[in-house]
């Protein structure tokens, strides 16, 4: 098992990464938690894994009970927060109780917010089961839900007490969801770690024997950045947004229906790679290496022709990351493994980068 320590003073915690950890939850949490324990999950994940976690908890004398929501982004809502909080109150969970979030990023964000709000905060444990949740959303303490007016508009910074990553859970994750998670892995490599980038560029699969090292590296990169800028006030955390400016605009312009988050970020990274080549000196060969890495992980490189370029451009104006002066601030790469945030880019180049996303990438061995 690998451990990444997240050093946040009194809010510090460990991220434990390995295989078969679901059947060691009892051992891992023994003496660290008090019951009752609410296991918050979604229907699909609960069916697959909740019983094993419940069994583990009962073996160490804790009483778990299960609360589930439908799978999918629509469950990240105030309505589900109300439902879950009411259930906790009905079960008379005291301040010493614990919430375990078992599932992907949706469950983690929702359960974390419930843990942060119930009785002004009860202990929270993350058990992420999607690749995206393992390498990104379960670490760093951002919790919350969506409003009809927009994504993640309600929330709290609330760190877990521990994160337990069982890589074996990825075996049942739909392949498209797994691929979407690899987009964030490519991101970490691109902004901070050339060796990680080179590894993920070869393609990553759930049963790869070095997946623990890959996830460990991603978590460590996120942990170091979060340690510097826990509440996203200093700018360092912005580095994690490589590919996300255009990616978010694509998600918004397509009403979050066409692409999974990671797929939109893949497109955003392709655009940001070329912006980096034009404005930050990224060698063109490295921009092409990013395209190849996305393709090797079955991520989209080309926008569907029916998507309106102007809708993407106008969505860019509403990105949360627009700076106070109204300029978009971008994360660009100086080279593979070194990203810099807070860069200004010319609107003409942004338009050119979006235009490029309608053009397929040609490889020697065919069209991607
Ligand atoms: N808090 C943060 O810092 C942060 C960072 C990035 C993303 N997010 C949020 O994360 C969410 C997306 O997370 P996600 O991509 O994990 O989506 P998700 O939680 O909806 O999971 C994707 C799908 O996979 C299923 N699933 C999950 N694990 C499974 C498994 N092991 N086997 C079979 N099926 C499984 C789920 O039921 C769901 O249908 C978004 O709401 C996003 O805003 C948060
Ligand atoms: Zn992301």
- Render each residue's pLDDT in the chain as its tens digit; 368 residues: 999 999 999 999 999 999 999 999 999 999 998 889 999 999 999 999 999 999 999 999 998 999 999 999 999 999 999 999 999 999 999 999 999 999 999 999 999 999 999 999 999 999 999 999 999 999 999 999 999 999 999 999 999 999 999 999 999 999 999 999 999 999 999 999 999 999 999 999 999 999 999 999 999 999 999 999 999 888 888 999 999 999 999 999 999 999 999 999 999 999 999 999 999 999 999 999 999 999 999 999 999 999 999 999 999 985 554 444 445 579 999 999 999 998 888 889 999 999 999 999 865 444 44
Q: Is the CB of 169 under 6 A from ligand 1?
A: yes
Dihedrals φ, ψ of 142, to 5°? -80, 120
Q: Is the CB of 42 under 6 A from ligand 1?
A: yes
Alpha-carbon dihedral angle through residues 24, 36, 159, 134, given to the nearest 10 degrees: 40
Given the CA of residue 130, which atom of ligand 1 is nearest to it? 28
- Cβ atoms of residues 40 and 122 within 8 Å: no
CA of 181 to the centre of ligand 2 (A): 9
Q: Is the CB of 130 under 6 A from ligand 1?
A: yes
CA of 319 to the centre of ligand 1 (A): 21
The distance of Cα 63 from the centroid of its chain, to the nearest Å, equals: 30
Nearest to 99 by CA among 9, 21, 36, 186: 36
CA of 104 to the centre of ligand 1 (A): 3
Environment class of 44 (CB within 10 Å of its CB; exposed 0-12, middle 13-18, buried 19+): middle
Tell me if the pTM is above 0.85: yes
What's the alpha-carbon Rg for the chain, to the nearest Å? 20
Token output for 190: 């691109």
Q: Kindly report the CA angle at 106 between 45 and 328, in degrees rounded to 5?
A: 150
Given the CA of residue 181, which atom of ligand 1 is nearest to it? 15
Q: Is the CB of 136 under 6 A from ligand 1?
A: yes
Which pLDDT value is given to residue 363?
59
Q: What is the 3-state secondary structure (H, E, C) of 23-58?
A: HHHHHHHCCCCCCCEEEEEEHHHHHHHHHHHHHHHH
Q: Whose CA is nearest to atom 21 of ligand 1?
A: 104
């Amino acid at each position: 098992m690998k451990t990444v320590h997240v050093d946040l003073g009194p809010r510090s915690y460990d991220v434990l990464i390995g295989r078969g950890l679901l059947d060691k939850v009892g051992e891992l949490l023994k003496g660290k938690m008090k019951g009752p324990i609410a296991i918050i999950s979604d229907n699909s994940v609960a069916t697959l894994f909740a019983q094993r976690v419940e069994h583990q908890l009962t073996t160490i004398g804790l009483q778990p009970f299960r609360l589930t929501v439908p799978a999918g982004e629509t469950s990240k809502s105030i309505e589900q927060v109300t439902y879950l909080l009411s259930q906790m109150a009905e079960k008379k969970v005291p301040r010493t109780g614990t919430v375990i979030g078992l599932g992907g990023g949706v469950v983690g964000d929702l359960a974390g917010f419930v843990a942060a709000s119930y009785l002004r905060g009860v202990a929270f444990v993350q058990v992420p089961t999607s690749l995206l949740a393992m390498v990104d959303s379960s670490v760093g303490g951002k919790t919350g839900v969506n409003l009809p007016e927009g994504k993640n508009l309600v929330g709290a910074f609330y760190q877990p007490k521990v994160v337990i990553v069982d890589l074996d859970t990825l075996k049942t994750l739909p392949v498209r969801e797994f691929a979407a998670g690899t987009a964030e892995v490519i991101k970490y490599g691109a902004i901070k770690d050339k060796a990680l980038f080179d590894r993920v560029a070869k393609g990553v699969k759930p049963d790869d024997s070095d997946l623990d090292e890959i996830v460990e590296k991603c978590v460590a990169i996120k942990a170091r950045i979060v340690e510097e800028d826990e509440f996203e006030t200093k700018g360092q955390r912005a580095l994690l947004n490589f590919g996300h400016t255009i990616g978010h605009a694509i998600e918004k312009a397509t009403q979050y229906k066409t692409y999974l988050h990671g797929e939109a970020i893949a497109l955003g990274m392709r655009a940001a790679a070329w912006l980096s080549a034009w404005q930050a000196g990224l060698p063109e060969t490295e921009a092409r290496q990013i395209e190849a890495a996305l393709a090797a992980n079955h991520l989209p490189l080309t926008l569907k022709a029916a998507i309106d370029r102007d809708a993407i451009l106008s969505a860019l104006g509403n990105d949360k990351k627009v700076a106070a002066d109204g300029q978009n601030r971008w994360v660009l790469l100086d080279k593979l493994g070194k990203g810099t945030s807070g860069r200004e880019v010319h609107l003409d180049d942004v338009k050119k980068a979006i235009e490029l996303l309608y053009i397929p990438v040609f490889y020697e061995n065919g069209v991607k």
